[in-house]
Amino acid sequence: MSTLTIEPSDVLRRAHAVGTYYGFESLASAAHKNRGNGTKAAYPESLAVDTLDPHAREVAAFLKQVRDAGLAPSLGRPLFLWHTNITAGRQAPKQIVIQFHALGADRAIADAVLIRAIRSLATDITKLDSRLRLNSMGDRETRGRLARELASFFRKRGNTLPAECTDCAKKDVFAAAELLIATPECDGLPSSTDHLSEASRKHFESVLEYLESTETPYELAPQLLSRGGTWNETCFEVTAGERFNAWGSRYNDLAKHFFKSIPSSVGAVIRITADALTGGKKGPSITPVKEKSTPRFVFVHIGDEAKRESIKMADSLRKARIPMTQVLGVESLTEQMRVADELNPRYLVIMGRKEALERSVILRERATHTETFIPFDTLVDRLRAVA
C-alpha cells in the first residue's frame, strides 16, 4: 500500500476544484446564496429512513438539506451540487463522505459528467488510476421482470445454492442475488441488462456512448446490483486503491419524497476512511476553502458535440489552474447565459457544434463583446495569457 497521506483540508480543496470545473456548486454555497428562503422540517412521513441502505441514507440526508435550504431543481435549471461531512474549523470525521448530485437532470450526459468528476477526484486524492464498473438495473418495469426471473432462479436452483441465499430470496430476491454473487454458485444468475425496457436500454446506451466519446475507460459489470426500492437505471462504482470507494446511481423514487415534481436525478456517495488520510493520527482542524465569487471564465456549450469536447477538456484546464467554471447540466443557451450573468465573469468561452467539429472555441470579452477564435491546441496558453 502506498504511504502517501492526504490531509482532510486537502480533500476539501480538491473536491471544490473538481466540482467547479465540472459545474457542481457546493451545497453550502448554494444554501448561503438562498438564505432566508428555506424552512427546516422533519423527514417526509412517506419515507422509512431506517429501512434504507447506507448509501441511500446519506442521499436522503443530503436531499433533506437541499429541501430545507429552499433549493428546488427544475427541468430547465437542474441543480448540480456537491456536499461533504468535512466542516471547516473542526476535526475530520472518522469516515469522510463526499457526495456529488445532479438533481433534475434526466439526460444521460448527467451520468457521464458525474462519473468523470468522481474519477478526477479519485485520481487527485489517491494519485492512482481509478477503476469504473457500471451496470443498469433499469426502470420499474425492468425491475419487475428481473424480480420474477430471480424468483424463478432461486426456486429452481434452491437445492444447489447456499441456504442463506435461498432463505433471503423468500424476502428480497435482490438482496439474495447480492449474497449469491459473492459465492462460486452465482453462474447462471439472471442479468438485469437482459431484461431492460426499451426506455432503459436507450438511456444506458446513451451513457455508454458519452463515456466512449469522452474517452472514459469503463468495465461492464453485470453483477453490480442495486437494491429494488431506492435506485434505478445506471448504477456504478469507482474505486482507486483501498482509499477511495464511490457508489452511484439514479434515484428517482427517493427524490420524489422531497420534491413534488422533480425529474430524474443521479448521485454518488464517496467514502474515504480517516486512517487512509491521516495514518490514524488526530490531525489539525479543517482549513476553509477560499472560494472566488467571480470566475474569470465561464464555459458555455451549444449541442452535444460541444458538451462532449468540454468534458474531455475539464481535467486539462483544471490542471492548468485556469479560473473557470461551466454549466454542463443546463441544456438551454438562454439558461446558460443567465447563469453566466449571475456569475459575472470577464470572459465567456463559447463552443457550438461548428466549433466542436473545427476543434476551436470562441473567447468573448463581455465588456466589449470582442470575440477571438482559439484552436484547442493553444487554448490553455491563450487563457493563461488573459487570466
The model's pLDDT over 293-340, given as tens digits with 9 standing for 90+, comes to 678 999 999 988 999 999 988 888 888 989 998 888 787 888 889 889
Residues 17 and 128 in one domain: yes
Same domain for 156 and 221, yes or no, is no
CATH number for the domain harbouring residue 123: 3.30.930.10
133 and 146 housed in the same domain? no
Number of other residues whose CB lies within 10 A of the CB of residue 33: 12
Is the pLDDT at 274 greater than 90? The verdict is no
Minimum mean pLDDT among 214-218, 281-285, 305-309, 374-378: which range?
281-285
In a domain, 378, yes or no: yes
In a domain, 210, yes or no: no
Average pLDDT in the 345-358 region?
94
What amino acid occupies position 197? Answer: S
Q: What's the pLDDT score for residue 228?
A: 62
* Residue 340, C-beta contacts closer than 8 angstroms, at least 6 positions apart: 298, 300, 327, 348
| 281 vs 201, more confident | 201
| Per-residue pLDDT at 25 exceeds 80 | yes
Q: For 40-51, write each residue's pLDDT tens digit.
A: 899 998 888 888
For residue 75, is pLDDT > 80?
A: no
| 45: containing domain | 8-137+215-278
Q: What are the φ/ψ torsions at residue 179 (nearest 5 degrees)? A: -65, -45
Give the C-alpha separation, 144 to 258, whole Å: 25
Output the pLDDT for position 1. 41
Per-residue confidence (pLDDT) for residue 225, from 0 to 100: 86
Whether residue 248 contacts residue 268, with contact meaning beta carbons closer than 8 Å, is answered with: yes
| Rounded average pLDDT over 161-171 | 91
pLDDT of residue 11: 86
Give the Cα separation of 36 and 294 in Å (integer).
Answer: 22
Return the pLDDT at 293: 64
Lowest mean per-residue pLDDT among 72-81, 105-114, 171-180: 72-81
What average pLDDT score do residues 113-122 get? 95
pTM of the model: 0.89
What's the whole-number mean pLDDT along residues 97-125? 93
In percent, how much of the chain has pLDDT > 70? 93
What CATH number does residue 341 fall under? 3.40.50.800
Same domain, 123 and 249: yes
| Candidate ranges 85-94, 159-168, 220-229; pick with highest mean pLDDT | 159-168
The yes-or-no verdict on residue 284 having pLDDT over 70 is no
pLDDT for position 299? 94
331 in a structural domain: yes
pLDDT at 35: 86
On whether both 245 and 355 belong to a single domain, the answer is no
Count the residues in the chain: 387
Q: What is the pLDDT of residue 275?
A: 53
- b/e 63-99 (16+ beta carbons within 10 angstroms → b): bbbbbebebbbeeebbbbbbbbebeeeeebeeebbbb
Q: Verify that 225 and 255 share a domain, yes or no.
A: yes
Per-residue pLDDT band for 276 (boundaries 50, 70, 90) equals very low
Q: Does 114 lie in the same domain as 67?
A: yes
20 and 96 in a common domain = yes
Residue 102 lies in a domain: yes
Note whether 18 and 125 are same-domain residues: yes
Number of compact structural domains in the chain: 3
160 with 61, same domain: the answer is no
Model confidence at 280: pLDDT above 80 = no
Same domain assignment for residues 115 and 176: no
* Residue 76 and residue 152 share a domain: no
Nearby residues of 60 by Cβ (< 8 Å), 6 or more positions away? 43, 47, 49, 52, 254, 257
Q: Which is more confident, 348 or 287?
A: 348
